[in-house]
Amino acid sequence: MSEKIDISKFEKKMIIRNIEAKDFDAIINMQKLCFPNMEPWEREHLKSHIDIFPEGQFCVEFDGEIIGSCSSLIINFDEYDDQHTWDEITDNGYITNHDYEGYNLYGIEVMVHPEYRRMKIGHRLYEARKDLARELNLKSIIIGGRIPNYFKHAKEMTPRRYVEEVTMHNIYDPVLTFQVMNGFTLKRINPNYLDDDRASLRYATLMEWNNIDYRPTVPKRQFKTSFPIRITTIQYAMKKISSFEDFAVQCEYYTDVAASYQSDFAVFPEIFTLQLLSFLPEKSPSLAIRRLTEFTEDYIELFTGLAVKYNVNIIGGSHFVEEEGKIYNIAYLFRRDGTIEKQYKLHITPNERKFWGISGGEHVNVFDTDCGKIAIQICYDIEFPELARIAVDKGANIIFTPFCTDDRQGYLRVRYCSQARAIENQVYTVLSGTVGNLTDVENMDIQYAQSGIFSPSDFTFARDGIVGECQANIETVVVGDVDLEILRRNRRAGSVNQLRDRRHDIYQINYKQ
């Protein structure tokens, strides 16, 4: 009697998944095989793809080997010229123009390892894209397709005639025929699309697949003549109090002020909860901070309630929190729908480390709100330009910076860097600082602040790039409107464009998370 056959040794598993950093070398090598006469991806391109739009990058893994891949981004196609080039539509391959609010998935690359063709690998990748378009409720998929067999017929026919013959199946083209068979229809033919595509004589067919499941009635994206966001930033007075209830009264007062001006955001300063130490007897800074962390749940409960009660998103300053034996400086976003997010301070000042033993966080977060994507960078963090660039590449339109400085020099470092980040990244920035004195609290006895709201510097924005600012060193608020539609247009067609004009061929930020 023969032994039972072990079928597992015959199995070869095919997986379609999102691209990861470990796949980069295999993808680059595969591209050299697929397109030997064209410039391949660089690792910086692929890294940018998975940082900015990871769900749009797919690969096919067969028996542990990468045998196919495709890349894409989301755009609003109506914003691009009819005769756009590949470099224009992809920001030179880095997809930093990816638009989370766009209508169209734009495919920029599909390739299949030559040894694994005729296994419907390309078809599987196209189906993965279609599934993504349905999942994200995108209107269509658009691709700029090569016509690599055109060079064989260029002497006897125009690109238009060649495309017609391929579409009628009189001529076979490995790319265009495949796209037609996968449900794509011709929109137009673009000349000078891809500089190194000699086989296509630099022509490309602009093809589109329409998502019949697209739901235009879903309130997902709307074009607006303006998209104003009102911000109240609070210059908070650090004064002696007798209880947590006194602290809560002061916080509710400012939240009420913000709500009375119909603000979308109320912004409190960094570590303003240190005011609670004014009624605690502990004088040692390191021990006092651990006492302060005991109020964490009360603080979160207070601001969650205020955000919902007053219908305003609150940047809850920051608070020292103990986690697994370490103390972190954490800024919380309290959304007006009752949900909560948090951002750890990444860069710890020598003073924080010396007096309080604070530990740094690990991640640059960008948060969705009902007013678009925002980031929080606490005080010292705004002085590191890499963080703002990473946040904006992740989609942030506003960067909130709660801060706490004791002298004018420290304040100006935060102020100048905040305004620089607004210009460098074409983004709004917001400062909220503490003023007043806490004479009984070690290392928090004096404060200096001039809170404000800042914009990029261009004709469409406020003069001097200042939307509004408080007077220095008094307890007050400043209310200002920022317009996300103006920001979007400025990023598209400003006097200068710092985001699009970056030299990716010379430098690149490598965010290791």
Per annotation, catalytic residue among 379, 404, 417, 470: 379
Q: How far apart are CA 330 and CA 319, in angstroms?
A: 5
The secondary structure of residue 446, as a DSSP letter, is: B
**Tokens standing for residue 97:** 């123009």
379 given a catalytic annotation:
yes
**Tokens standing for residue 386:** 């890499």
Beta bridge partners of residue 241, listed in sequence order: none
The secondary structure of residue 78, as a DSSP letter, is: G
282 given a catalytic annotation:
no
Q: How far apart are CA 83 and CA 80, in angstroms?
A: 8
Beta bridge partners of residue 374, listed in sequence order: 367, 398
Burial class (CB in 10 A: 0-12, 13-18, 19+), 508: middle
Q: How far is CA 365 from CA 140, 281, 387, 482, 490, in A?
A: 29, 36, 10, 21, 24
Q: How far is CA 393 from CA 72, 74, 87, 449, in A?
A: 16, 13, 18, 29
State whether residue 474 is helix, strand or coil.
coil
* Torsion sign across C-alpha atoms 295, 301, 302, 304: positive
CA atoms within a 13 Å half-sphere pointing along the CA-CB vector of 348 = 19
Per annotation, catalytic residue among 270, 352, 383, 469: 270
C-beta separation of 275 from 254 below 8 A? no
Which one-letter amino acid corresponds to residue 237? Answer: A
Residues in CB range of 124: below 8 A, 6 or more apart = 16, 60, 68
Burial class (CB in 10 A: 0-12, 13-18, 19+), 226: exposed
Per annotation, catalytic residue among 345, 352, 404, 469: 345
Tokens 């080039």 — which residue? Answer: 85
Q: Catalytic residues, which ones?
A: 270, 345, 379
